[in-house]
Chains A and B, each alone.
Chain A
Amino acid sequence: NAGVTQTPKFQVLKTGQSMTLQCAQDMNHNSMYWYRQDPGMGLRLIYYSASEGTTDKGEVPNGYNVSRLNKREFSLRLESAAPSQTSVYFCASSEARTGRNYGYTFGSGTRLTVV
């Protein structure tokens, strides 16, 4: 089925370890996003990519890096994980164009625990 695929679904890291969350979409969307979801808070934007080759910081970028490898793939890297990064991470994509709005498609989420 077409959509957004995230891996892994679950991960436990020790403080200081690094890891990369992978995201791929097969809908030929231009824009891709990484969000984190914490209890009692709305989803918050970490980074986004409006097109292949471009990335921009969102609301909570500290401690993360991203790579828009090609139009399909947008990865999120934690270089030195901290307990504050324990969260559920969602990747999303949209065919956003100036002056118009399109819907968003979300991945199934990655539940990350940093101990």
Chain B
Amino acid sequence: KNEVEQSPQNLTAQEGEFITINCSYSVGISALHWLQQHPGGGIVSLFMLSSGKKKHGRLIATINIQEKHSSLHITASHPRDSAVYICAFTSLDFGNEKLTFGTGTRLTIIP
């Protein structure tokens, strides 16, 4: 049973399009994380949020605690945004020390 589900699994879009990646989870959480992984590369933390909305450059992350749902948006998408985007959470049951990961959304931006 997956406690965190991401959609879509794969997304291909044209450069400049507005991108939305969704994440739903089924347990109480203490924080929701969005991570980025380029092909063959390491994992970079993009956002950590427990309420509301955060913005960094062209990236926006939102969370609705009541609905147990988070979204990652990319405005004016660019080929360099092509990567796997991973949603993860730290759960209240386990304290603040461990992450549960989604399987990722593979984003491809075509020039």
Contact = CB atoms under 8 A, between A and B. Distances in A.
Interface of A: 31, 33, 40-45, 48, 50, 58, 90, 92, 94, 96-109
Given A31-B97, A101-B30, A104-B33, A109 B102 contact: no
Given A42-B4, A42-B103, A101-B50, A109 B42 contact: yes
Contacts of A102: 48, 96
Nearest to B29: A101
B86 interface: yes
A105 B45 contact: yes
Describe B's contact surface by its main secondary structure: strand
Contact of A45 (B50, B86, B99): B99
Nearest to B45: A103
Interface of B: 2, 4, 30-31, 33, 35, 41-45, 48, 50, 86, 88, 90, 95-104
B102 A42 contact: yes
Contacts, number: 63
Nearest to A43: B101
A42 B30 contact: no
A42 B105 CA distance: 11
Contacts of A107: 42
Contacts of B30: 101
